[in-house]
Structure 1
Amino acid sequence: MVKTRIAPSPTGDPHIGTAYTALFNYAVAKKNKGKFVLRIEDTDRARLVPGATEKILDSLTWLGLAWDEGPIHQSDRLSLYQKKAKELVGKGLAYYCSCSSERLEKVRAEQQAKKEVPRYDRKCRQKPPSKEEIEKGNCVIRLKVPESGETSFEDLVRGEITFQNKDIDDSVLLKSDGWPTYHLAVVVDDSDMEISHVIRAEEWLSSTPKHILLYNAFKLKPPIFAHLPLLRNPDKSKISKRKNPVSLIWYKEQGYLPQALLNYLSLMGWSMPDEREKFTLKEFIDNFDFARVDPSGPVFDLQKLDWLNGQWIRSLPEKELADRLKDYTKRDLKQIEIVLPLVRERLKKLSEFEAQTKLFFEEPSVDTKLLLDLGHNEKETKEALGEAAKLYKGLGWGTPRLEGETRKLSEKLGWIASDLFMCLRIAITGSKVSPPLFETLTVLGKEETVKRLKKISSLFSK
């Protein structure tokens, strides 16, 4: 059976990279009628953040990436890792190390001064600590990497990859406090949970030969590996919160639809056979093939995501969209439904709804300089606003009638129609950019429209 997993660490807000990796793992499992496992890698006790696990679960649920097994916490499996590490020592495939952090820092500094790659110098491999030192509980357990030969594996994205064993560090497997490092825990867990495909970010590529050596040491068959390209900032650097939002919670709070975010992440290093950009999760699963994954780092472009999210917003049934907007505005459902048709085409994120519709519920402030910038003096502007208010007060209310009569008014006043329309738009909405003018007036109502025009007209001297 095909079995994949996502294994985030609860060290902060759930990362956009976690969603990206989870999506590909989920797709491979579902395409092959397999299982998708959620594992919480909480062995780095110093970096644990309270509540982070719950945020991970909430974010994956929001995205619709339902797991079939888990969540499984590594912290519940401590005795298993300890047993496995000691098993390797017993086989002569790992060893105890008593080197202090001060000594390791000194060795690292000396290596850097010589422009050498920092690594453990294998002191305790050559001269093991005494039984008494080991019994004190201050030793770590390190992997005993072969000093010659090479370690190879096949990657579904990158093909065959080979590492020279002499270049692989004797990494720590079990820390002195009895907690495992990533290298030991990931191999023990993936084997124990029968994970068939390890699909993860390319940053773990250099760790894979250590994992292969561990599988060999335990006499276990390694899983199939696939290392996805890292998401990149526009300047091609690794995606980071300094240049791009990385918290999944931020994307939810901004009003990105989960189906739009998954759609966009699908396009990061992968493409549909027919090159279309908008598609559902099911369509992604049905068409997924590792042969179409490009190993070069895709650029995560927020503007492109905004565009795609806007496409998804407009594809939602109006009732469903109105219901989703309730979490992003203080307006009630009836108010949302009244103004939604006017802003639907302009929304890129659900969070924009409040700002774009505020003018319907709260009187805006108006900068009279914007009105005078249209090329008419105070007297002409005051006259235009006053005449419009007088016209609208006695007019039947409705979009076609409003536009027709306002065009006639522009001719009467000697204004270019577009200038008068902009003058009215600014006076009514406080901005040069708003939903369509006459549809806005229709929804706003005669009384409120006339009141706003009179108020702004009164700001100009006679």
Structure 2
Amino acid sequence: MKVKTRFAPSPTGYLHVGGARTALYSWLYSRHANGTFVLRIEDTDLERSTPEAIEAIMEGMNWLQLSWDEGPFYQTKRFDRYNKVIDEMIENGTAYRCYCSKERLEKLREEQMARGEKARYDGHCRCKSVQKTHSVDEPHVVRFANPIDGVVIFNDLIRGPIEIANKELDDLIIRRTDGSPTYNFCVVVDDWDMEITHVIRGEDHINNTPRQINILKALGAPLPQYGHVSMILGDDGQKLSKRHGAVSVMQYRDDGYLPEALLNYLVRLGWSHGDQEIFSVPEMIEYFTLDAVSRSASAFNTEKLLWLNHHYINHLDADYVAQHLVWHMNQQGYDLTQGPDLITIIKLFGERSKTLKEMAQSCAYCYQDFSDFDADAAKKHLRLVAKEPLELAKTKLQAIADFDWEIEKIHQTIQATADELNVGMGKVGMPLRVAVTGMGQSPSVDATIFAVGKQRTLARIDKALAYIANRAEQ
């Protein structure tokens, strides 16, 4: 049997973290088995589904590089197929028209709840005599004739055997009064037509599974295997929501995360392979199995995600990281022709940055001049005692030929300045750092000066000297 999985989001919002993990698990399961992965857009909720949400889902999937083999399929484009199947079910008695008014259903619900019973449809319109008293032209819904007796048993690939008595299930509406088919029915026909073998989805769908199994059996369709993934909690133990920070996949892109970091984090959010923490995508594909997925809820930990992101910033190929960094640099409004190449930035700031956004913000002085020095840094390091080291350093830096402008040469120049003045490197390096960056902290001063460039460095030293002179006069 060739494995075929699917990810089937409803386009009522962005691709959230829980959906992304479900998509990842489904994608990995198919890739591990050399199977097929299907993307299906379940847009039967016509009021809430939007083109913007569909675009957001596609954007998230593409950013995560979870490529699909078939699709995207849209349920709204398959209504003729669903209605054809429903009409056939009415003919063979596995579905029936229900003419019950809203008032009758509300009264029924109130009476059942008053008796302490579970609210469910009582099958009133299953009776043939009721059907004879109505015309097919009257307003009605279509219900599935769920088996009255027996049980539905399925072996959840994550949770083990699950058993539901049919008496706990009522006759599900499969077509609304306006003629539109409902979610649970469309899912069944789609899984049947698309030959889905394994359905991996969130635990909130467990109650839907026995209903869908019964419909599949009524259609004489093969049953997929089901696996239900536990929910994701915030670090406070509550269901993950906006108050815990970013929940949209693309928000993580905007916040400076690499897709590899988010994928690695999500795969470990409920799955393990020994004590291994860092997984490349090929390793995920090789090792992933559903029997290693936890039944327990997982808690989201932003610090762990930041740790992974820092790892990938510094261990992935710099050219690849640069492809993602350029978006953040553009967001900062930098003219990238007026500064070092991005590979230099990654090597310079990678160890100091947990996110690409942080990296882009930190390297501003490499592309843009600043108006003011940091007050505390200038007070401490741009004093009269720094005048001579800065002047000598400027003279020596100016003497470096443009073709010879490199980190080692700059380092030697700073060292020579300190030696000539018989002072420690810090007495030269710290004033230089503040002069060139405007701040008291940066990567190594020689590498920073190299990245800023010769002419900018000299101009900024002049600015620092003017600051010192002005300070001395006050």
State the TM-score, normalized to the length of structure 1.
0.86
Letter paired with 1:211: Q
Aligned partner of residue 161 in structure 1, secondary structure: strand
Kept in 1, the 8 Å contact 2:310–2:353? The answer is yes
* Equivalent position of 2:443 in the other structure: 435
Amino acid corresponding to residue 217 of structure 1 in structure 2: A
- How big is each residue's C-alpha offset from its partner over 1:108-156, in whole Å with a ceiling of 9 and x where there is no partner? 57766777655445554579467646413x3222233344432211001
| CA distance, structure 2, for counterparts of residue 114 and residue 96 of structure 1 | 27
Q: Describe the shift of the 1:185–1:425 C-alpha distance in structure 2 as closer, same or farther (beyond 3 A).
A: same
2: distance between equivalents of 1:409 and 1:109?
A: 94
1:460 aligns to what?
A: 471
Question: CA separation in 1, counterparts of 2:178 and 2:466?
Answer: 73
Q: Aligned partners of 2:10, 2:417: CA distance in 1, in Å?
A: 62
C-alpha displacement of 1:58 = 3.3
What aligned pairs does 1:120-269 form with structure 2 within 5 A after superposition?
120=121, 122-125=123-126, 128=130, 132=134, 134-136=136-138, 138-269=139-270
Tell me the amino acid that sits aligned with residue 310 of structure 1: H
Q: 1:427 to 1:439 in 2, by over 3 A?
A: same
Q: What one-letter code is carried by the residue in structure 1 that aligns with 2:282?
A: K
Question: 1:196, CA displacement in angstroms?
Answer: 0.6
Q: Deviations over 1:154-190 (max 9, x none)?
A: 0010000112333224332111122222210111110
CA contact (8 A) 1:4 1:29 kept: yes
- 2:50 aligned counterpart, secondary structure: coil
Give the superposition deviation at 1:345: 1.7
Structure 1 partner of 2:406: none
CA distance in 1 between partners of 2:431 and 2:107 (Å): 73
Q: Secondary structure at the match of 1:71?
A: strand
Could you tell me whether the CA contact under 8 Å between 1:233 and 1:244 is conserved in 2?
no
User: Residues 393-412 of structure 1 correspond to what in structure 2 (within 5 A)?
Assistant: 393-396=394-397, 398-401=409-412, 404=415
Range that drifts further, 46-55 or 430-439: 430-439
Specify which of 363, 375, 390 is matched with residue 368 of structure 1: 375
Quote the residue 2:95 is aligned against: 94
**Cα deviations across residues 39-97 of structure 1 (Å, max 9, x unaligned)?**
11111101111233233333323322221111211112112212222333344433333
Aligned 8 A contact 1:150 1:162 in 2: yes
Structure 2 residues not aligned, in runs of 5+? 401-408
Alpha-carbon separation, structure 2, partners of 1:116 and 1:408: 90
CA deviations on 1:226-263 (whole Å, 9 max, x unpaired) are 11122221122232233232222222333322222222
Q: C-alpha distance in 2, partners of 1:356/1:105?
A: 61
Partner of 1:73: 74
- 1:142 aligned counterpart, secondary structure: strand
Alignment of 1:281 onto 2:288: no
Matches within 5 A, 1:270-309: 270-273=271-274, 275-309=275-309
Give the equivalent residue in structure 1 for 2:336: 332
SS at match of 1:45: coil
3-state SS, counterpart of residue 394 of structure 1: helix
Contact 2:384–2:472 under 8 Å retained in 1: no
In 1: Cα distance, 2:168 partner to 2:221 partner:
23
Query: In structure 1, what residue type is equivalent to 2:445?
Result: L
Q: What is the CA distance between 1:338 and its match in structure 2? A: 4.1
Checking the alignment, whether the CA contact within 8 Å between 1:427 and 1:456 is kept in structure 2 is: no
Q: Give the conservation status (yes or no) of the 8 Å contact 1:95–1:142.
A: yes
Question: Is contact 1:359–1:429 with CA below 8 Å preserved after alignment?
Answer: yes
Partners of 1:410 and 1:146 in 2: CA distance: 94
1:318 aligned residue: 318
* 8 Å contact kept, 2:154–2:163: yes
Partner amino acid, structure 1, of 2:20: A
Which residue of structure 1 lines up, in the alignment, with residue 65 of structure 2? Answer: 64
Distance of aligned partners of 1:288 and 1:381 in 2 relative to their CA distance in 1, 3 Å threshold: closer
How many residue pairs end up in the alignment? Answer: 451
2:462 counterpart residue number: 451
Alpha-carbon distance between aligned partners in 2 of 1:345 and 1:159, rounded to the nearest angstrom? 45
Q: Secondary structure at the match of 1:199?
A: strand
String of CA shifts for 1:357-404, please: whole Å, max 9, x gaps.
Answer: 1022323333424555x5xxxxx9621343332232233464434654
CA separation in 2, counterparts of 1:257 and 1:62? 9
C-alpha distance in 1 between matches for 2:113 and 2:155: 32
Cα distance change, pair 131–29 in 1 and its aligned pair in 2 (3 A): farther
Is this contact kept in 1: 2:389–2:418, CA < 8 A? Answer: no
Distance 1:404 1:57 in 2: 54
CA distance in 1, matches of 2:376, 2:240: 42
Give the residue type in structure 2 aligned to 1:357.
C
CA distance in 1, matches of 2:217, 2:32: 29
Matches of 2:90 and 2:264, distance apart in 1: 47
Deviations 1:330-352, CA, capped at 9 Å, x for gaps? 34265434443211222322222
Q: Secondary structure at the match of 2:279?
A: coil
CA gap 1:302/1:159 in 2 versus in 1, 3 angstroms: same
Decide whether the 8 Å contact of 2:389 with 2:421 is kept in 1: no
CA contact (8 A) 2:38 2:72 kept: yes
* Distance in 1 (alpha carbons) for counterparts of 2:369 and 2:314: 28
Aligned 8 A contact 2:386 2:427 in 1: no
Letter in 2 for 1:368: A
Any unmatched runs of 5+ in structure 1?
375-379
Separation in 1 of the partners of 2:191 and 2:53? Answer: 23
Check 1:79–1:434 CA distance in 2 against 1; reply closer, same or farther (3 A cut): same
Change (3 A) 1:162 1:450: same
